[in-house]
Amino acid sequence: MLTDTDEQRSFKKLSHILKTGKSNTIWSDQLGDIYIDKGCTGKNGYGLLHIIEGRYIKDKHNHDEITAILYKVTDVAKNGNITDSIIIKNKNNDKCMGIEKDGIIAIIDRRKEKNGEKFVITGYELNNKKEEATGAIQTVIARYGFTPEFSDFRKQVGAVVSSFQVSQQLKDKSRKIEIARKAGYVHGVCECVVAIGDDRALGKKLLTEMNITKGIAKKYANPETYKTLEHGIFAQKHEQNLEQSKSFKR
């Protein structure tokens, strides 16, 4: 069983990695040195940031739970046993390893470096012992949640989560601006076509050159403008087909 000093060091180590971005290692009797990297987020993410991203965005865990999960992942990687109960592949389609303990699986990836290969903690998963895993996470919070070491690490986790929130807000704002720009552009083109009036050839040419389809016009143009187009130039093809059908019957 770990001593309080060992656990304090674990929280301090994790906090230092998030603060500085400098990697550290833990020793596993089964794999030897396993690196704990700050890592990165996104599709090919790994390390602490990847775990935080998944637990916050995907699982909606709070800061205490994420802090406890990161601690447990490193503990599992250090003291757990290799398991085949889960299969995960990295970006190179190579199989990652799972180390299991207390219902939690730490995902370990073999990453190629300039000086060879190294084992890196890259993710976190639950097996079919979800209740056991939840209990282990809550035990960490109950036992260490009020310690300075846990609190300091929690602040680092909170800072990362806040950066996700700001990034998402910027993406949402950028998306809204882009939609507004597109709506203005499409509506402007559609207004021009309406102004052209009965010159269907010119109106059709303008829509084609500006890549405005009926669906795009319906989505972005003013409803009244689209209604005019719907009964005008967008109805032309249907009217032509109808006229051709009548001619064929004659």
pLDDT given for residue 91 in this prediction = 61
Q: What's the whole-number mean pLDDT along residues 50-65?
A: 88
What integer pLDDT is reported at residue 239 of this predicted model? 46
Per-residue pLDDT band at 77 (split at 50, 70, 90): very high
Weakest-pLDDT range from 53-57, 153-157, 240-244: 240-244
Does the pLDDT of residue 15 top 50, yes or no? yes
Mean pLDDT of the chain: 83
Regarding predicted confidence, which is higher, 12 or 116?
12
Going by pLDDT thresholds of 50, 70 and 90, the confidence category of residue 209 is confident
Q: Read off the pTM.
A: 0.67
Q: Residues 93-120: pLDDT tens digits? A: 567 888 999 989 898 888 776 676 788 8
**Model pLDDT, residue 248:** 39
Cα 194 off chain centre by = 43
Q: Taking residues 208-236, what's their average pLDDT?
A: 87
List the chain domain ranges. Answer: 4-145, 171-249
pLDDT-derived band at 85, boundaries 50, 70, 90: low
pLDDT for 200:
84
Q: How far is CA 64 from CA 48, 100, 134, 146, 158, in A?
A: 15, 22, 13, 11, 9
Over residues 28-47, the pLDDT tens digits come to: 888 889 999 998 888 788 88
Q: What is the mean pLDDT of residues 65-88?
A: 87
Q: Please give the share of the chain, as a percent, with pLDDT higher than 90.
A: 26
- What are the pLDDT digits (tens) for 181-206? 888 888 888 888 888 888 888 888 88
DSSP string over the chain: ---HHHHHHHHHHHHHHHHH---EEEEETTTEEEEE---B-STT-BHHHHHHHIIIIIT---HHHHHHHHHHHHHHHHH-EEE-S---B-TTSPBPEEEEETTEEEEEEEEEETTEEEEEEEEEEE-S-HHHHHHHHHHHHHHHTTSHHHHHHHHHHHHHHHHHHHHHHHHHHHHHHHHHHHHHHHHHHHHHHHHHTT-HHHHHHHHHHTT--HHHHHHHS-HHHHHHHHTTGGGHHHHHHHHHHHHHH-
**Residue 86: what pLDDT?**
65
Arithmetic mean of pLDDT, 218-233: 88
